[in-house]
């Protein structure tokens, strides 16, 4: 009877060992480029989808000692009623250690924490910690859970020495500020950052654009209105930014990221962020010229850049409210994304920057104007719309030199000042149908008839008009001249 019992126990033990061995063999070692460590294991199912192996491993890796339960558990003992405590445990043990003390009264790190250099995981969820001093002694830490404490600010050196930190949980702290480069930096390689449910009002770009692969950075449910760049972060065109998921829902965003502020002048550089996913579905977007560059890029890679791309809509301007942004992109309506400018705008006209055409427009269409506006903004590549106005004379203006598009149609203008031809350049797109000219001013020979639409002009031909013949000879089809 006794022996039978023993046999069963032995069998059970054997069975357990076997199961552990099989379990362990379904993991493979992950050697991240960014950190010098070999203790991370990646589940073998990650290798089933070859395109996604790396990202899957980054998201699911487990330290080997954790998986095999080969670690020491440390505990805490309070020694004052002000929430001061000491770590209890074997200081000299070389096993990786985990310190876990949830829902306590701890107000600061335990005073002897640095004696335990083997600590890899700290779980102090639900305590009363308000300041975290620089804890370089914990340089081997892999996971830090400080959720549900009272930490209001993270400085750029708070975690900078924790080069192995992979998981950092700061949710529910009332956090108002993350200094630039405080969770991302050359030596940090956090793959899961949770700053959700805090009180942050802005987010510095330096804290989520990184070269290392990451799984997810969560900033959802804060009060973030905009992405800022106070740390002077710039994208390095020679580097590859692998990216991950940046969760930004439940905030108060009204602007997408201002890429120019990040030093991105060329839209192609933006491609470097393409593997990032930004979750922003409930943001109240300003559908204006600042958003347009993003969308131009998104046009090509629509479902890659925002994971729930199909659920974003405009909030401002009012007349676009509720319009689906992806719909506008797919239906090639990027021209709608403009910014009004109020400076130096002629009365009765609207002045705007239209990013998609890289042009600044002065729209005086239908205005009660009898002459060209005296001044318009001093910018290059102007579009001047004077259609249906009461302009009688096409007078010269300095800004004509910077104008690439003029619409003077249906004005009935009957005179053109000679200086005009000194100012406009030959590539100008000039619409003048519905004029009252009774002769075609010779100056128009500077125009490219393929671009300009000169409208119908009845002229009495004489030798002075030979230039028209030459002009027409050069160009193919001007049926309505
Ligand atoms: C990684 O660690 C090994 C051994 O500990 C060391 O020789 C090597 O220089 C380290 N590499 C980096 C990039 O830190
Ligand atoms: C950290 O912030 C301080 C100012 O708050 C600044 O002087 C210092 O250069 C920053 N360090 C890094 C590494 O960004
Ligand atoms: C967040 O800020 C609001 C005031 O802006 C304050 O009432 C609230 O208590 C703060 N939340 C936390 C968790 O500190
Ligand atoms: C779209 O957004 C709304 C509100 O933000 C959300 O309730 C809904 O589930 C989203 N739909 C999809 C398909 O993501
Ligand atoms: C620009 O101004 C017009 C006219 O005032 C207005 O209807 C429109 O909503 C404004 N657009 C933006 C993007 O502010
Ligand atoms: C100037 O504006 C026109 C639209 O009027 C646009 O087609 C062109 O690309 C712009 N040129 C430059 C250099 O931005
Ligand atoms: C210019 O203004 C007119 C009248 O307000 C409007 O119908 C037209 O769409 C505007 N054109 C552009 C390009 O904004
Ligand atoms: C023409 O555009 C340039 C900028 O490209 C600007 O400096 C200049 O003042 C503009 N000229 C006029 C007359 O608006």
Last residue of a domain, one of 289, 317, 336: 336
Q: Show the domain range for 328.
A: 68-336
Q: Tell me which of 94-108, 154-168, 243-257, 397-411 is least confident.
A: 243-257
- Do residues 57 and 166 both lie within one domain? no
Query: 240 with 385, same domain?
Result: no
Q: Are residues 44 and 88 in the same domain?
A: no
If asked whether residues 382 and 420 sit together in one domain, one would say yes
Give Cα 126 distance to the centre of its chain. Answer: 32
| Residue 412: pLDDT over 80 | yes
- d(Cα 287, Cα 155) in Å, to the nearest integer? 34
Q: Is the CB of 335 under 6 A from ligand 7?
A: no
Q: What is the mean pLDDT of residues 412-429?
A: 84
Please indicate, yes or no, whether residues 188 and 211 belong to a single structural domain of this protein.
yes
Shared-domain flag, residues 285 and 317: yes
- Same domain, yes or no, for 331 and 443? no
Report the residue among 128, 146, 153, 174 best suited for mutation to probe ligand 3: largest number of ligand atoms under 8 A from its CB: 174
Q: How confident is the model at residue 5 (pLDDT cuts 50, 70, 90)?
A: very low
With 60 as the cut, is the pLDDT of residue 10 above it?
A: no
Number of domains in the chain: 3
Say how many Å lie between the CA of residue 342 and the centre of ligand 1.
58
Per-residue pLDDT averaged across 355-384, rounded? Answer: 90
For the chain, what is the mean pLDDT? 81
pLDDT of residue 470: 62
Angle formed at CA 270 by CA 199 and CA 252, multiple of 5 degrees: 20
CATH number of the domain encompassing residue 378: 3.80.10.10
Label residue 273 left, alpha or beta by phi (over 0 means left) and psi (-120 to 50 means alpha). Answer: alpha
**Are both 361 and 253 inside the same structural domain?**
no
Ligand 7 close to Cβ of residue 365 (< 6 A): yes
Report the residue count for the chain. 481
Q: Which residues contact 395 (CB under 8 A, 6 or more apart)?
A: 371, 372, 417, 420
Chain position carrying tokens 């009623």: 81
pLDDT at 258 over 70: no
Would you say the CB of residue 153 lies under 6 angstroms from ligand 2? no
Give percent above pLDDT 90 in the chain.
Answer: 35
Statement to judge: residues 266 and 386 lie in one domain = no
User: From CA 73, how far away is CA 87, in angstroms rounded?
Assistant: 11
Confidence at residue 451, expressed as pLDDT on a 0 to 100 scale: 60
DSSP assigned state of 183? S
Rounded CA-CA distance 212/206 in Å is: 13
């Amino acid at each position: 009877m006794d022996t039978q019992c023993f046999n069963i126990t032995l069998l059970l033990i054997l069975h357990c060992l076997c199961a552990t061995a099989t379990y362990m063999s379904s993991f493979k070692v992950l050697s991240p480029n960014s950190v010098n460590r070999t203790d991370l294991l990646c589940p073998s199912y990650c290798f089933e989808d070859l395109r996604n192996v790396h990202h899957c491993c980054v998201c699911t890796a487990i330290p080997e000692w954790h998986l095999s339960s080969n670690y020491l558990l440390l505990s805490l003992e309070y020694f004052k009623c002000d929430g001061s405590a000491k770590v209890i445990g074997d200081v000299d043990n070389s096993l990786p250690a985990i310190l876990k003390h949830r829902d306590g009264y701890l107000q600061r790190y335990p005073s002897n924490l640095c004696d335990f250099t083997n600590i890899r995981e700290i779980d102090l969820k639900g305590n009363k910690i308000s300041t975290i001093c620089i804890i370089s002694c914990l340089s081997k830490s892999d996971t830090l859970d400080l959720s549900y404490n009272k930490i209001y600010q993270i400085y750029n050196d708070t975690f900078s020495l924790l080069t192995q930190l992979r998981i950092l949980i700061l949710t529910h702290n009332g956090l108002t500020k993350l200094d630039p480069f405080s969770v991302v930096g050359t030596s940090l390689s956090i793959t899961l950052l949770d700053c959700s449910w805090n009180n942050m009002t802005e987010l510095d770009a330096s804290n989520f654009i990184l070269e290392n692969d990451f799984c997810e950075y969560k900033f959802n449910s804060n009060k973030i209105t905009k992405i800022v760049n106070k740390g002077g972060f710039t994208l390095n065109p020679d580097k590859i930014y692998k990216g991950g998921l940046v969760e930004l829902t439940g905030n108060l965003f009204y602007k997408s990221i201002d890429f120019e502020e990040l030093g991105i002048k060329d839209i192609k550089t933006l491609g470097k962020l393409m593997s990032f996913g930004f979750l922003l579905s409930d943001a109240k977007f300003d559908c204006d010229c600042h958003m347009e560059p993003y969308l131009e890029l998104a046009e090509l890679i629509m479902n890659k850049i925002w994971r729930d791309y199909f659920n974003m809509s405009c909030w401002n301007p009012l007349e676009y409210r509720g319009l689906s942004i992806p719909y506008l992109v797919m239906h090639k309506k990027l021209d709608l994304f403009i910014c009004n400018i109020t400076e130096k705008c002629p009365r009765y006209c609207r002045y705007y920057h239209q990013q998609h055409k890289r042009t600044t427009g002065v729209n005086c269409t239908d205005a009660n104007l009898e002459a060209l506006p005296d001044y318009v903004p001093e910018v290059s590549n102007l579009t001047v719309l004077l259609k249906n106005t009461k302009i009688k004379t096409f007078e010269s203006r300095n800004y004509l030199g910077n104008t690439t598009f003029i619409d003077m149609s249906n004005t009935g203008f009957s005179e053109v000042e000679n200086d005009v031809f000194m100012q406009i350049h030959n590539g100008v797109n000039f619409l003048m149908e519905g004029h009252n000219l009774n002769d075609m001013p010779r100056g128009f020979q500077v125009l490219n008839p393929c671009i300009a639409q000169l409208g119908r002009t009845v002229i009495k031909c004489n030798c002075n008009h030979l230039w028209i013949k030459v002009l027409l000879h050069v160009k193919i089809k001007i049926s309505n001249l």
